Chain A
Amino acid sequence: MTTVPVRPPLVRSSDRVIAGVCSGLAVHLGWPVRMVRTGMVVAAFAGGAGLAFYGWLWIMVPTADENAKRNARRPASPIAPAVSLPPVGLQPGPAPAPSFGTVPFPHAAPPPAGEYDAGTAFQPPAPAAAPGSGTWFRIRSMRYGKEILLGAGLLLVAAILIARLLGVEVPLGTLIPAAAILGGAAIAWMQLDETRRAGLVDKTKADQAGGWARLAAGLALVVAGVLVMVSGSGSWQQTWLALLASVAVLGGVALVLLPWGLKFWRDLETERAGRVRETERAEIAAHLHDSVLQTLALIQRRAGNEHDVVRLARAQERELRGWLFKDPARDAGQLSDRIKAAAAEVEDGLGNAVDVVTVGDTEMTERHEALVQASREAMLNAARHGGGPVSVYLEVSDGGAEVFVKDRGPGFELHNVPHDRLGVRESIIGRMKRHGGNAAINSSPDGTEVRLRLPADVADNGEGKS
């Protein structure tokens, strides 16, 4: 069952003699077109079967264009996933269902529309049984299970009809109730899969109502079928009495089993919730052990060195904050993350507190990389020469990105910086200029502020958006 052949979708081809049915079928089955056409003509002489089949396919099978449109519109169609798979060449895979290999028609039928058309005309229980039996027979891994089962049902009906025509006595009185029971059971059992899916996808009231209706319909069918079977051709009054009795029995059983079932269900829920909590607790404990406990131990050993203690505490605080307040919905690797990472690096290296405030954000580009590098250099200078805490502010707007790095050190004059010191001149001002931005340094005895500005690329207006 695992080797379901991937077939090209059954569509009417544009390479056609009449309506493109034969060439479409040939592509779908992986047979030569000539063979399909010959077969169709031969079948046409066999009581017009070929003509009827051709006409039916003409009506039911969409053209390639229609099919593409339909798949685009409703990708959730039960068959769509199989149909929309990329056709893997035109290799003639093994027949989809070996037992029906000699009969190409049923599983070649186009899905939803064909189902109703084919089923209702012949035998009422069959279409009811078909949709659910996929689960019932545990063949859900088979993609065309429904279609194959429908085909099997139709073949069975055909066989019965032929047998009757040939004069063989078929016990219809037994067969029809049996089919009703099968159909009912299938409808009820279908639920298993449905509810599981509902729990996973979306548990809406409508789904539940549908589920209940299905259960009721299944029950009714099964009960009615059993009754007709047991009571033979009894009178309606008898049937009604029996029906009442069986419903009463069912109700009694449900009443007895319900509390037990509920308790079992609740225990299961509690246990599951407990396990989730336990996992969460273990994860938190592991994280705290790896981070906070280790840092606390380090702090105790370094208690004499104020500088180290502050640095350790800041680093740990930053790490814990990142863990606690991170927004999982946000993309990582944005400009603000990079600026924060640069600040953390400076903080770890030099021990000065570097506070980062960011407004807006943007994707990283090569030019932003330059901005981050220049900011890092500015932070290093601020921490090294300013001495105290450093304030970093990043603002990203449609116009571009700006970074301000401020310290409260004694300040400096740019023209007093020796010519061989390239930090400010090259790493900050030069770098920003090379990437179309600019850098300004405003220094006074109260502190220094470096202002880096990178305008949004004119050619690429989207990049500055936050």
Chain B
Amino acid sequence: MRVVIVDDHAIFRSGLKADLDPGVVVVGEAGTVEQAVEVIAAARPDVVLLDVHLPGGRGGGGREVITGSAALLGATRFLALSVSDAAEDVVAVIRAGARGYVTKTISGAEITDAVFRVAGGDAVFSPRLAGFVLDAFGTAPADIADDELDKLSARELEVMRLIARGYSYKEVAKELFISIKTVETHVSAVLRKLQLSSRHELTKWAAERRLL
């Protein structure tokens, strides 16, 4: 597993490097938007651990790194790491193409787990991100008439609610009597909706938080 860490705090980068599982090899580090785009293009890692707030570039931070590496999006996956709780920061990087978001306070084991999950093509949702999703899409399930992208299905809502309540994917699977793989499918579907939906409410929600 080859990983690039992008964060402007050297202390955090070295701390994270020490925390990660031995199976994860850090092949590059960067502290600014320009450095990050360069390092990612050169190292072509499996996963980029990306801080949401970064100096440099045009001020777009992590989002700008993802758009700058758009050519690699198929092979390289981005996992957003942030100390920020602000919905605008989190949803902006997700909509730019990140496969998940975790807070910087989670343990090394959890980050390692998230890295493997993202590398496998799955999405990683923290409780807070699930909360943002429920806030943005509303908590009412989709009607058949609704555009598929505009609302969450009843099952997806259930999964998001459980994640927001602090359940791990395994616990969600157990609670809903489905396999972990199915949970992952639901979460990936939600991620896709979050990235692609242009529904009125989401746009309004995003505009109110100055995301668009």
The residues of A with any CB-CB pair to B shorter than 8 Å are: 321, 325, 355, 357-360, 391, 393, 395, 397, 404, 406, 446, 449
Contact = CB atoms under 8 A, between A and B. Distances in A.
Given A325-B86, A355-B166, A406-B165, A391 B134 contact: no
Contacts of B127: 355, 357, 391, 393
A359 B85 contact: no
B21 interface: no
Given A325-B86, A355-B127, A391-B127, A360 B164 contact: no
A391 B85 contact: no
Nearest to B88: A325
Given A391-B165, A449-B165, 6 more contacts: A357-B164, A358-B131, A359-B164, A360-B135, A393-B127, A446-B171
Nearest to B160: A359
> In this complex, which of B131, B135, B166 has the most chain A Cβ atoms within 10 angstroms of its Cβ?
B166
Given A321-B85, A325-B85, A446-B171, A391 B166 contact: yes
B192 interface: no
B109 to A, nearest CB: 14
B92 to A, nearest CB: 14
Nearest to B131: A357
Given A355-B127, A391-B127, A395-B161, A406 B134 contact: no
Contacts of A391: 127, 165-166
A359 B134 contact: yes
B52 interface: no
14 contacts: A321-B85, A325-B84, A355-B128, A357-B130, A357-B164, A359-B131, A359-B134, A359-B164, A393-B131, A395-B161, A395-B164, A397-B139, A404-B166, A406-B165
Closest 3 CB pairs of A and B: A391-B166, A357-B131, A393-B165
Contacts of B134: 359, 395
Given A325-B85, A360-B139, A446-B171, A404 B165 contact: yes
> In this complex, which of A357, A358, A360, A395 has the most chain B Cβ atoms within 10 angstroms of its Cβ?
A357
Contacts of A397: 139-140
Nearest to A397: B139
Contacts of B164: 357, 359, 393, 395
A51 to B, nearest CB: 63
A410 to B, nearest CB: 16
A406 B85 contact: no
Contacts, number: 43
A145 to B, nearest CB: 44
A393 B127 CA distance: 9
A449 B131 CA distance: 18
Contacts of B139: 359-360, 395, 397
Interface string B166-204: 110001000000000000000000000000000000000
A393 B140 CA distance: 17
A375 to B, nearest CB: 13
Nearest to B209: A327
A357 B161 contact: no
A357 B165 CA distance: 8
Interface string B133-149: 01100011000000000
A278 B164 CA distance: 41
Contacts of A358: 131
Nearest to A313: B105
A321 B164 CA distance: 20
A420 to B, nearest CB: 31
Contacts of A321: 85
Contacts of B84: 325
Contacts of A406: 165-167
A52 to B, nearest CB: 61
A325 B84 CA distance: 9
Nearest to A322: B85
B90 to A, nearest CB: 11
A360 B171 CA distance: 25
B169 to A, nearest CB: 14
Contacts of B140: 397
A397 B161 CA distance: 13
A359 B135 contact: yes
B126 to A, nearest CB: 9
Contacts of A393: 127, 131, 161, 164-166
A328 to B, nearest CB: 13
> In this complex, which of A359, A360, A397, A404 has the most chain B Cβ atoms within 10 angstroms of its Cβ?
A359
A61 B131 CA distance: 61
Interface in B82-99: 84-86
A162 to B, nearest CB: 67
B157 to A, nearest CB: 11
A397 B135 CA distance: 10
A248 to B, nearest CB: 49
B107 to A, nearest CB: 11
A106 B139 CA distance: 65
A357 B161 CA distance: 10
Contacts of A449: 165
A350 to B, nearest CB: 17
Nearest to A329: B208
A395 B138 CA distance: 11
Contacts of A355: 127-128, 166
A397 B157 CA distance: 13
A358 to B, nearest CB: 7
Contacts of A446: 171
A391 B127 CA distance: 9
A404 B163 CA distance: 12
Contacts of A325: 84-86
A392 to B, nearest CB: 8
Contacts of B130: 357
A391 B140 CA distance: 23
A448 to B, nearest CB: 12
A283 to B, nearest CB: 20
A37 B84 CA distance: 76
Contacts of A395: 134, 139, 161, 164
A449 B135 CA distance: 22
